[in-house]
């Protein structure tokens, strides 16, 4: 299989390996003899040392999905020779210039030790990108600092996205490709099975696996909380600005598949055509408008297919199978300042007359925009029109799902802790506030990494230590509390205790109560479902 630039993954890896190893003064053989080897259940792989941390990149956890397009993944064939694991594997096919390939089931490991019996917690990160884009290979997700600081294992994962992972085909193909609508979720389940099988080899504890993820990554975790085949594969979870209250119904998913295949010029009755169409052709067809809401791009996401997913993730209640899984739910105070503001920069200079019209387009809940504006103006008299717009779209579009998830878990007394990220980004004079993605760098401790918007000042360093340590403690002990935080009480409907990370980190009961109550007047259905 080849990537978007016509290179095979093997070509890319060999080239990268030649540069990184042959350039060492000791030569290839000497360098290879000093590099760590991880003996996985499928075969040995050779990585690199980054300070005290053993790093293995591009480790195969699943077979090439190209020959199994739209089907459940399978474990790779075993190998005996030591394979290179010094460069990242390909991402799933997607729009943009990222290196991609249908052969994309790879993960990356950062561990302080190998087969040393240390039984470290294992923190598995799922990347964002709304099920459509991204990979686990971004520098922002580099796990070295987190692994070294806290003596944990960090893993990031690539899996199938967009049509390759979520195109629901059974109704259009006479029942074929029954698992196509959740192929990307089956990939993640396979990755977690790999983690369980290789925990001891990595120096980890198979009974202390935590999943964490931001945006789409958090939504994937919420979905797995209700997936029967994921039961027992992880023991705690943290979602950052990523919720999945409802899944796509099979009828809407079928209409989206129909529109996508028409754009790609493919006949669903032509099985060979579906399986053999160039990946580039499928990627190009992702530009089609959504048939359910033509004003938006095509939605792809998990489907209530009765197989991988037999119920909605968090509707009408919290799934019983994950009742005992400790969970952190987090959002940022100003999610949409970059989600919308970067695409529509004039949102920062709105008049009061502009706000209701733009709110109607962006809130994604059916509520009177005039009522919303009036409520915000009364509650926050110092807010500008743009402040009201960003606050209301954050509450109605990005925060509402977290409220619903926290409420159903809290009402059932499932172990749940909620946070709100208030510490603003210093970029561009602070215009972005605390926007979507800002908590990623804090969680990894990568404040200075490419893509970070946190800055590296004293407050950012303190918040990063507070949040990352809370995540590690959840992974290690099932409870995020630590000496560097105020006592963090569990979320219950009587208080709605929320840890607010800001210039001063504090526990607040029911922050933004007026906003929560405003949007609670109308039902919330996850966009696309």
Residues carrying an active site annotation: 215
Report the sign of the C-alpha dihedral through residues 330, 333, 336, 338, in that order: negative
Residue 388 has phi, psi (to 5 degrees) of -65, -45
Q: Which of 330, 285, 269, 242 is nearest to 526 (CA)?
A: 242
Helix (H) / strand (E) containing 391: helix 385-393
Q: Which of 136, 196, 140 is nearest to 160 (CA)?
A: 136
Q: Find all residues with CB under 8 Å of 292, minimum gap 6, and list them.
A: 252, 255, 256, 299, 528
Q: Find all residues with CB under 8 Å of 526, minimum gap 6, and list them.
A: 243, 244, 245, 246, 247, 401
Report the sign of the C-alpha dihedral through residues 227, 229, 235, 236, in that order: negative
Q: How far apart are CA 60 and CA 126, in angstroms?
A: 16
- Inter-residue contact 124 to 191 (CB < 8 Å): yes
Q: Which of 351, 399, 438 is nearest to 140 (CA)?
A: 438
Angle at 440 (CA atoms; ends 523, 65), nearest 5 degrees? 80
Q: How far apart are CA 430 and CA 8, in angstroms?
A: 43
The DSSP bridge pattern shows strands 120-126 and 153-157 to be parallel
Specify which residues 360 forms β-bridges with. none
E strand spans, 334-421: 416-421
């Amino acid at each position: 299989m080849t990537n978007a630039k016509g290179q095979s993954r093997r070509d890319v890896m060999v080239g990268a390996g030649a540069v990184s190893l042959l350039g060492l003064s000791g030569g290839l053989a000497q360098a290879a003899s000093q590099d760590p080897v991880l003996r996985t259940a499928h075969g040995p792989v050779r990585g690199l040392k980054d300070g005290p941390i053993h790093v293995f990149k591009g480790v195969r956890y699943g077979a090439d999905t190209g020959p199994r397009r739209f089907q459940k993944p399978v474990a790779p064939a075993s190998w005996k020779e030591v394979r290179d694991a010094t460069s990242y594997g390909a991402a799933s096919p997607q729009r943009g210039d990222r290196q991609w390939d249908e052969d994309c089931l790879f993960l990356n490991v950062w561990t302080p030790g190998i087969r040393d019996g240390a039984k470290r917690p294992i923190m598995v990160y799922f990347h964002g990108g709304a099920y459509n884009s991204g990979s686990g290979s971004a520098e922002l997700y580099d796990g070295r600092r987190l692994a070294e600081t806290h003596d944990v294992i960090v893993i990031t994962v690539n899996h199938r996205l967009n049509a390759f992972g979520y195109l629901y085909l059974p109704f259009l193909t006479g029942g074929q490709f029954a698992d196509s609508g959740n192929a990307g979720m089956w990939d993640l389940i396979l990755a977690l099975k790999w983690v369980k099988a290789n925990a001891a080899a990595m120096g980890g504890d198979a009974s202390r696996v935590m999943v964490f993820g931001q945006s789409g990554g958090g939504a994937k975790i919420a979905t797995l909380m209700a997936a029967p085949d994921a039961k027992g594969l992880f023991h705690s979870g943290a979602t950052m600005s990523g919720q999945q209250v409802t899944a796509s119904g099979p009828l809407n998913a079928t209409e989206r598949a129909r529109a996508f295949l028409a754009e790609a010029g493919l006949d669903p009755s032509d099985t060979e055509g579906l399986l053999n169409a160039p990946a580039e052709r499928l990627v190009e067809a992702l530009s089609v408008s959504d048939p359910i809401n033509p004003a938006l791009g095509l939605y792809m996401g998990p489907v209530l297919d009765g197989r991988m997913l037999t119920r909605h993730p968090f509707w009408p209640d919290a799934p019983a199978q994950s009742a005992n899984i400790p969970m952190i739910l987090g959002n940022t105070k100003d999610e949409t300042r970059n989600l919308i503001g970067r695409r529509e920069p004039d949102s920062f200079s709105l008049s009061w007359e502009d706000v209701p019209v733009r709110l109607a387009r962006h809130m994604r809940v059916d509520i009177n925009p005039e009522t919303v504006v009036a409520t915000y103006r009364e509650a926050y008299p110092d807010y500008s029109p743009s402040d009201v717009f960003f606050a209301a779209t954050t509450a109605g579009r990005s925060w509402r799902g977290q409220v619903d998830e926290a409420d159903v878990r809290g009402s059932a007394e499932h172990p749940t802790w909620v946070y709100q990220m208030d510490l603003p980004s210093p970029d561009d004079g602070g215009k972005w506030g605390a926007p979507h993605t800002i908590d990623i760098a804090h969680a990894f401790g990568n404040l200075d990494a490419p893509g970070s918007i946190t800055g590296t000042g004293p407050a950012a360093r303190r918040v990063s230590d507070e949040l990352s340590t809370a995540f590690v403690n959840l992974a290690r002990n099932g409870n995020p509390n630590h000496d560097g935080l105020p006592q963090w009480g569990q979320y219950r409907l009587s208080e709605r205790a929320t840890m607010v990370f800001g210039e001063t980190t504090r526990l607040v009961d029911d922050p933004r109560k007026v906003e929560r109550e405003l949007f609670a007047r109308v039902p919330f259905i996850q966009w696309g479902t």
